[in-house]
Amino acid sequence: LWTAATTLSSGRPVHYRCDEKQDWYPDIDDIRAKITTRTRAIVLINPNNPTGAVYSADLLEQVIRLAREHDLVVLADEIYDKILYDGNKHIPAASLADDILFMTFGGLSKNYRAAGYRAGWMIISGAKHRAEGLIEGINMLASMRLCANVPAQTAIQTSLGGYQSINDLVVSGGRLCEQRDLAWKMLNDIPGVSCVKPSGALYL
């Protein structure tokens, strides 16, 4: 999705390495080596699709330091932020700094199993003075081109403020946790195949 969106916007996506031996964490040195004067932002998907990694505060702070050093926006895709296993905690990237620009993305489709509702949100925080033109453009686009899905808008309030059934699904014995465990075991039982146990999200 991020690759396609960047390409459709006439940008050039540059992928950074995530290291399987380090629980699929991004390789900070690889990111640093790929930043040029044309780089505009760093995308963080946390919890990660497709690796299932959940990033530590230390890793997030290293990425933030890179963004600060090179004056980059951090695009934080946090749509899986409630799908966490084995007591893992999600740390919102934007909670760790207020001097760089963050654009954080969330929605109902994953945590609330509401794919197709097309109900999501974007939060702009941190150095918002750097994004005045962008915010104006987004507001204009939203006013002219986006049509709110009214039933889904109501569902957002109910979902966020209501009973969080996702918590029952991700604990030991919960459906998502059991499916994660079974799929992980079956893959690792195949000779020659290894799979890191996901800490979050819906993928192996």
Q: Does domain 2-188 have CATH number 3.30.70.1520?
A: no
Q: In degrees to the nearest 10, what's the CA dihedral of 135, 140, 146, 151? A: 70
Residue 94: other Cβ atoms inside 10 A: 21
**Closest alpha carbon to 93 in 71, 114, 63, 50:** 63
CB 102 within 8 A of CB 134: no
pTM as predicted:
0.92
pLDDT in tens, the chain (204 residues): 899 999 998 999 999 999 999 999 999 999 999 999 999 999 999 999 999 999 999 999 999 999 999 999 999 999 999 999 999 999 999 999 999 999 999 999 999 998 888 888 999 999 999 888 999 998 898 888 777 778 888 888 888 999 999 999 999 999 999 999 999 999 999 999 999 999 999 999
Sorted by where each begins, the domain ranges of the chain are: 2-188
**Closest alpha carbon to 78 in 31, 41, 121, 18:** 121
